[in-house]
Structure 1
Amino acid sequence: MAGNVVVGVDGSDTAYKAASRAATLAEGLGSELVVLSAHMTGNTEVVRIGNDTWILDDAEQALKLAERVAVKLREEHPSVTVRSAAGRGKPQDVLIEEAERADAQLLVVGNVGMKGLRRVLGSVAWSVVHNAPCDVLVVKTAS
């Protein structure tokens, strides 16, 4: 089957559960896994503490987060090619855009719950399920 598997991460345990399931599926499908993190702004902030200067960049931090997850998944699934990526925008939009750009065969999201009409699926999962250009797997990561 052509195409890769895309999963979004945000640093939470539930996102890691979805990423772990995505790695297992990518391994079985012989596909590349794209671990993707979104950032909402393009802010860059310079912080000075004593003689040290730190540059904090939202895009860089999002990519570092995705890479930390990718490193763990590579250790757990050495036969899977895992690529980290980051995109600017709402998480659901970034996931859908990456799936379109990379001609993904599968998008994997967690089911982080919320209240109200969408209480069964989180808002990201709900949006991805209804707008993805490919199959979507919603991993039960929270009750």
Structure 2
Amino acid sequence: MRPAIELKVYEINKIIYKKIEDFESEKDNKDIKTVVKSGVAEKDESKGRISIAMGIIDKEGERSIEAKVTGYFTINKDVIEEQGLDLKDTLSINGAAILFPYIRSVISMVTSLDSDNAILLPTVNVMEFLDKE
């Protein structure tokens, strides 16, 4: 059986890594901030896109990282219709779950280049991200 969506390619859109000596100057006190955006192509509903952007402040390591990853998906509309699924919800939920390990890996790899202590993101419930939109 074919999946409802398939990841075709992903790209890293942004990486900003910096050392921070004075966290008081940082505007946002949150340790992790995540934004997930999704969309279906207007002219071709068999194509979709998901972007995940994360900002992490590691106060103990005196550093921060911002990263954004975008994944491009093929949507199998016949499978979605056959299973009675909502196209946009399926893309948002499943696409974010498929793409999250990629941004997790990028953040871990970049932060490990500068320190023995890589920033390791825990596994997550993707639904929490989608509720924040």
Which one has a bigger Cα radius of gyration? 2
Q: Same fold (TM over 0.5)?
A: no
**Structure with more of its chain in helix, by fraction:** 1
**Structure with more of its chain in strand, by fraction:** 2
TM value normalised by structure 1: 0.31
